[in-house]
Structure 1
Amino acid sequence: MTTLTDRPRTALLVIDVQNGVVGDAHDRDRVVATIADLVERARAAGVPVVWVQHHADDLPTGSEPWQIVPELTRRDDEALVHKAYGDSFEDTDLERVLADARVGRLVVTGAQTDACVRSTLHGGFTRGYDAVLVADAHTTEDLSGYGAPPPAQVIAHTNLYWRFQSAPGRTAGTVDAADVDFAATVVA
């Protein structure tokens, strides 16, 4: 269990599923559909959905590339965290949002696998959160022209190493979207 006291709840994090981030992402449509299903399941189970939205020079706030993809709709009562760094906790109000909701366990989805998803997983884990990566609900673009492995290998490698992540008092790991059980994690 989390090392954070009085944090029995789970939240679904949807990281940077924005037009300019996932436009050319590996297996984009399937991943976005999987995330959409997880969002609906989390809502039905009463689990907070927390949206994270990146801004940068190539993703200026309010622009079309900055917008969350049209297949996903954030509800007005769902938290939206704006960020400028890879780790969604860094210089944002994410920690306050999660503390207010008594969240100690994160179910992580989004983009990009080898940047913001990875940074947020590590950032949450080192801050005391349990952090589960949904193995089939994250993606990245092809950066093999810059020396990175092809996207499918980046995703597979991240799933592999996160499956075996451990630290005192915290849990990590991966789970397929079909096996995420939000109902089992709800605590009033």
Structure 2
Amino acid sequence: MTTLADRPNTALLVIDVQNDVVRGAHERDAVVAAIAGLVERARAEGAPVVWVQDHGEERAQGSPGWQIVPELAPAEGEPRIAKEYGDSFEDTDLEQVLAGLRVGRLVVAGAQTDMCVRSTLHGALTRGYDALLVGDAHTTEDLTEWGAPPPAQVIAHTNLYWKFQSAPGRTAGTVPAAEVDFRQKV
């Protein structure tokens, strides 16, 4: 039900599933496997897959740590968005890419739950997109040393509160990977 005109398509947005970002992340292998399954299904169902890669002082573009994890491989022609900020829309060409693909609904997976995934979900909803979080396809690192809850609680809380998000003319929600329908038009 996006507020964006003439945007009937759904895209899979894979955020920051990079070597340095998910090294040591909570249930890393299970989350990467869930994302791999989503990528395969999106491609089979004709939905665009858009890859986001964070860079900065800690992760230089092109460095080994900046690379997408080896279990996932962007296909030829799939958009890759380089970003410096938590919200994948901020100071990037993501909006132009999605407009060109006529995307009004995003299925979001990736890392980190409490940073880039959350920021991008909110950024998408604010910009008029329907934004669906895949509850078993996002992860974060353990930040309890700095006062954060344990990763499993961060993930569970994000799944819970995003399940009830909405905005005028837009929908949000949380679903398991097995229930994602890429053919759904908005």
- Residue equivalent to 1:127: 127
Report the CA distance shift for 1:186/1:130 in structure 2 as closer, same or farther (over 3 A).
closer
Alignment of 1:52-131 (within 5 A): 52-131=52-131
- How well do the aligned residues superpose, as a CA RMSD in angstroms? 0.9
Report the CA distance shift for 1:186/1:128 in structure 2 as closer, same or farther (over 3 A).
closer
SS at match of 1:182: coil
Report the CA distance shift for 1:186/1:3 in structure 2 as closer, same or farther (over 3 A).
closer
Q: 1:121 Cα deviation (Å)?
A: 0.1
Question: Structure 1 segments of 4 or more deviating over 4 A?
Answer: none
SS at match of 2:53: strand
Q: 1:186 Cα deviation (Å)?
A: 5.5
Determine the C-alpha separation between the residues in 2 that align with 1:149 and 1:60: 29
Determine the C-alpha separation between the residues in 1 that align with 2:185 and 2:118: 25
Determine the C-alpha separation between the residues in 2 that align with 1:28 and 1:98: 28
SS at match of 1:34: helix
Calculate the TM-score normalised by the size of structure 1.
0.97
CA contact (8 A) 2:11 2:182 kept: no
> Residue deviations 1:9-38, cap 9 Å, x none?
000000000000000100000000000000
- Residue equivalent to 2:9: 9
Identity of aligned residues (%): 74
CA contact (8 A) 1:46 1:186 kept: no
- Name structure 2 gaps, 5 residues minimum: none
- Residue equivalent to 2:149: 149
How many residue pairs are counted as aligned between the two chains? 186
> Residue deviations 1:43-86, cap 9 Å, x none?
00000000000001111111111000000000121000000000
Q: What letter matches 1:149 in structure 2? A: P
> Residue deviations 1:94-152, cap 9 Å, x none?
00000000000000000000000000000000000000000000000000000000000
CA contact (8 A) 1:113 1:138 kept: yes
